[in-house]
Amino acid sequence: MVGGLQRDITVVFLSESDDPYLFKICDELYPYVGDRVRFWKICSPFSFPKAGKEKFFVLNRIGRYGIRSLAHDWLLNLMSDSKRRFVYYACDVPVSDLALEFMERSTVILVNTDEMKSYLCSLNESFRDKIEVVPLHISFDFVNGVLPLKRIDDRFHILWFSLSGTGMSDVAKLLKDLDLLNLYVRVICICNRVGILRSKVEPVQNVDVMYFEALPYKDLIAFCKMCDVIIYPVFDDLDNVSFKVKPPTKFLNAVAVKKVLLVSPLKYYKEVADGRSVILVNDDSWIDVLLSVVKSNADYVYDEKAYLDARSKFDSVKLCSEYMKVYLGGEHAAS
Amino acid sequence: MHIHYVTSASDLSFLYHCYIPSKYLPRFDGVKVTISSYPGFVEEENARKSDVVVLQCQTKNSVFQFMKKASDKVFIYDIDASLWGLYSGRFNGRFWEKGHLRVIKKFMDFCHGVTVHSSSFYGLLVERFPELKEKIYLLPPLVDFEKSQVRKRCSSSIRIGWQGLPFDFKMSEHVAHAVAQVIRGGYDVKAVWFGFLPSALKGLKWWEWEYYAWPGVENFYDVLGSLGLDIGLLPVDPEMHDGELVFRRLLDYAMFKVAVVATNVESLSGAVGCFYGVDLSNKLNKWRRSIMDLLENEGMRSELSERLYEFALQFDASKRVGEWLEVYKEISR
């Protein structure tokens, strides 16, 4: 449970696992919500009924695996009570039938991008009136408080992460190409079920690749801070709906730790690309760009203006009130 | 013959008892194999069209009702020791409840045959249910050598690993302490844990250990092969283990020519001389010493890994799967 004091309003976060998205919509916002509000996280469906008496609920992508249990049925039943407020957080596809059932019964659906809104409306037009779009945020205070990891040696460090594992085959292809060159670099790969990536990439001989299962958010930030550059290559799947609707998490992480982001021309990254801090890389120029970054990284120094710009738009302090309006509804949020 | 597996698992039991046979059995003329799992189970068309239905560790009432209605089919109950929490010859664990046993017994009574995968479990079942002796069959393990591609980097550091499932966490934690002590002793070693992350590793420096989560049945051997292990650990609590799964894990290491340090439990007695044994006390210093012995002796490592590989070849799925088909045919007669 986040917060130990008695407070006026409790917002219950229900989730099937304690994942980074739950951290974003709960833990990362909590320092800014004020004294009257308490956040309560429940990360196992079978513990959901503990919160049966509460009024405000945020459902973190419940039912996305499509596996139904008695706890899901209990929650669906509770959602028919119109005196309670249920916010369904949907930030990514695929959406299962069970997830859609939860969305239908929720009071509000919270998404991070207009594209996600359009996508959900294409699945069910009746969602249109209850979808609220609030941009994804990042707590710059939290990021600033994390220390970078200690380096093993003076290699150039490249970081790739994708907590859901999207883009795994793309980075595998890039690593294979990179292995043909004899560069003094280390590539750190972080994602769920990272063993699958390893099985696609190994054996590499000329580049040191290290693999990590999806880490706690704080550790991920520590890796981001240690590395020289963050990459997100997508070659074959640019039209995949998932890339169109997802919020630009790589950008937020890169900007908050003041690192250069090299990224394929995905929709959201096109909007934030400035050619210095966020650099769009086409399919056939990844190796060239990486070579030039590794050999003369002075050309790719982070632009302070981009940092300040992002801080003014995406800092949790700034966006917290918008999230609270969605969580509590206009009346409570105002009070 | 259309064989249909009904499974509720997506773990190693499923891999060994459904996934691998379903890959090799269709190589025989006239054999078709299909699988259904939760939540479809018996509603699948394949289940209705099949001749032989293998129920892997099923206890669901819906499956039993399906069995009662489908009188034209041959039903085989495939059971492994972990279903009962049956370890090393003694019945224990929370699954060992009268109600649960009654359900399993009902399935076994109703099915035309029962298949098991280890001789110790076969003996136990026959001893406990002598009236079922005629219809209990022992199937040999099948090792999928087509997946035994080792993908290893050239590196000076030795990779020591453990693979298993989270229910083995106590022994996994135990040997992780031994490996951590070895690393702190100055050896150039990387600890690689696959399937469970012990807290002992988290105390090491971030570059000294790796952890890989369960990647799903279809990717399991690809990932295991890519780990490039030099030494594999197989610690077993002699009081609490499933003999078949332990033996299978030894064979999994064998596929990739990994030298193994294992507890000398009875279920591994058939492979004595093919791995480096630690006595049943499993004391930490004995594990540490055994690991260091193998670390310091490259010749012994390659000798043991070759011997283990040769031993495992006798269970090559492409050669032994015919025995499974024969059992299925015999039950169908």
Confidence band, pLDDT 50/70/90 cuts, at residue A243: confident
Instruction: Answer for the pair A192, A163: CB distance below 8 angstroms, yes or no.
Output: yes
Q: Given a cut of 70, is residue B147 above it in pLDDT?
A: yes
Which chain B residue has its CA at the smallest distance from A215's CA? B211
| Average pLDDT value for residue range B12-36 | 92
Interface test with chain A among B38, B210, B221, by most A beta carbons within 10 Å = B210
pTM summary value: 0.89
Q: Mean pLDDT across chain B, nearest whole number? A: 88
pLDDT in tens, A193-206: 999 999 999 899 88
> A203 and B215 in contact by Cβ < 8 A?
no
Instruction: Give residue B111's Cα distance to chain centre.
Output: 24
Based on the domain organization, do A171 and A295 belong to the same domain? yes
Q: Helix, strand, or coil here: A38?
A: strand
> B219 and A195 in contact by Cβ < 8 A?
yes
Q: A67 at the B interface (CB within 8 A)?
A: yes
Based on the domain organization, do A16 and A118 belong to the same domain? yes
pLDDT in tens, B161-183: 999 877 778 899 999 999 999 99
> B211 and A213 in contact by Cβ < 8 A?
yes
Instruction: Give the distance from residue B321's alpha carbon to the nearest chain A alpha carbon, in angstroms.
Output: 27
Q: B262 at the A interface (CB within 8 A)?
A: no
pLDDT at B184: 93
pLDDT in tens, A99-114: 999 999 999 999 999 9
A255 domain-assigned: yes
A283 domain-assigned: yes
Q: In this complex, which of B151, B215, B219 lies closest to A202 when CB atoms are compared?
A: B151
pLDDT in tens, A34-62: 888 999 999 988 899 999 899 999 999 99
CA distances from B184 to B181, B228, B286 (A): 5, 22, 17
Based on the domain organization, do A33 and A165 belong to the same domain? no
Percent of chain B with pLDDT over 70: 91
Residues on chain B touching A193 (C-beta within 8 angstroms): 212-216, 219
How many CB pairs below 8 Å do chains A and B form together? Answer: 61
Residues on chain A touching B206 (C-beta within 8 angstroms): 149
A2 domain-assigned: no
> B212 and A67 in contact by Cβ < 8 A?
no
Based on the domain organization, do A177 and A321 belong to the same domain? no
Based on the domain organization, do A229 and A242 belong to the same domain? yes
DSSP lists the bridge partners of residue A315 as: A138
ipTM attached to this prediction: 0.89
| Average pLDDT value for residue range A312-334 | 85
Residues on chain B touching A196 (C-beta within 8 angstroms): 215, 219, 222-223
Confidence band, pLDDT 50/70/90 cuts, at residue B93: very low
A246 domain-assigned: yes
Based on the domain organization, do A148 and A88 belong to the same domain? no
Confidence band, pLDDT 50/70/90 cuts, at residue A188: very high
> B225 and A199 in contact by Cβ < 8 A?
yes
Q: Mean pLDDT across chain A, nearest whole number? A: 88
Domain range holding A64? 9-137+315-334
Provide the domain count of chain A. Answer: 2
Domains defined for chain B, CATH in brackets: 2-142+317-332 (3.40.50.2000), 146-313 (3.40.50.2000)
Based on the domain organization, do A127 and A149 belong to the same domain? no
Q: In this complex, which of B39, B152, B223 lies closest to A199 when CB atoms are compared?
A: B223
Based on the domain organization, do A128 and A42 belong to the same domain? yes
pLDDT at B91: 42
Which chain A residue has its CA at the smallest distance from B149's CA? A199
Structure tokens given for B310: 């040769």
Pairing of strands A37-42, A9-15: parallel
CA distances from B12 to A76, A190, B320 (A): 34, 25, 19
A282 domain-assigned: yes
Q: Given a cut of 80, is residue A331 above it in pLDDT?
A: no
Based on the domain organization, do A48 and A130 belong to the same domain? yes
Interface test with chain A among B220, B223, B224, B229, by most A beta carbons within 10 Å = B223
A4 domain-assigned: no
Give the DSSP letter of residue B83. G
Q: A210 at the B interface (CB within 8 A)?
A: yes
- % helix, strand, coil for chain A, step of 5: 45, 20, 35
Based on the domain organization, do A123 and A168 belong to the same domain? no
Percent of chain A with pLDDT over 70: 93
Least confident of A42-46, A106-110, B59-63, B250-254: B59-63
Q: Given a cut of 60, is residue B92 above it in pLDDT?
A: no
pLDDT in tens, B272-299: 999 999 999 999 999 999 999 999 999 9
Residues on chain A touching B229 (C-beta within 8 angstroms): none
CATH code (residue A266): 3.40.50.2000
The H-assigned helical ranges of A131-262 are 140-144, 168-179, 194-201, 217-226, 241-245, 249-256
Q: B225 at the A interface (CB within 8 A)?
A: yes
Which chain A residue has its CA at the smallest distance from B215's CA? A193
Residues on chain A touching B154 (C-beta within 8 angstroms): 203, 205
Based on the domain organization, do A213 and A269 belong to the same domain? yes
pLDDT at A333: 56
pLDDT at B152: 82
| Average pLDDT value for residue range A110-130 | 92
The H-assigned helical ranges of chain B are 12-14, 20-24, 45-49, 61-69, 98-110, 119-128, 169-184, 199-202, 220-226, 243-255, 284-296, 298-313, 317-332
Based on the domain organization, do A199 and A113 belong to the same domain? no
pLDDT at B181: 95
> B226 and A202 in contact by Cβ < 8 A?
yes
Q: Return the residue matching tokens 């034209």.
A: B72
pLDDT at B87: 44
A75 domain-assigned: yes
Backbone angles phi, psi at B215, to 5 degrees: -95, 5
Who wins on pLDDT, A209 or B96?
A209
Structure tokens given for B85: 């929490």
Residues on chain A touching B201 (C-beta within 8 angstroms): none
The C-alpha R_g of chain B, in whole angstroms, comes to 21
Q: In this complex, which of B153, B207, B211 lies closest to A203 when CB atoms are compared?
A: B153
pLDDT at A131: 95
pLDDT in tens, A64-97: 877 778 889 999 999 999 899 999 999 887 678 8
| Average pLDDT value for residue range B6-30 | 88
Q: Is A302 exposed, middle or buried (0-12, 13-18, 19+ CB in 10 A)?
A: middle
Query: CA A232, CA A160: separation in Å to the nearest integer?
Result: 6
Residue B171 CB partners (closer than 8 Å, separation 6+): B235, B236, B237, B282
Instruction: Give residue B73's Cα distance to chain centre.
Output: 29
Least confident of A158-162, A234-238, B113-117, B309-313: A234-238
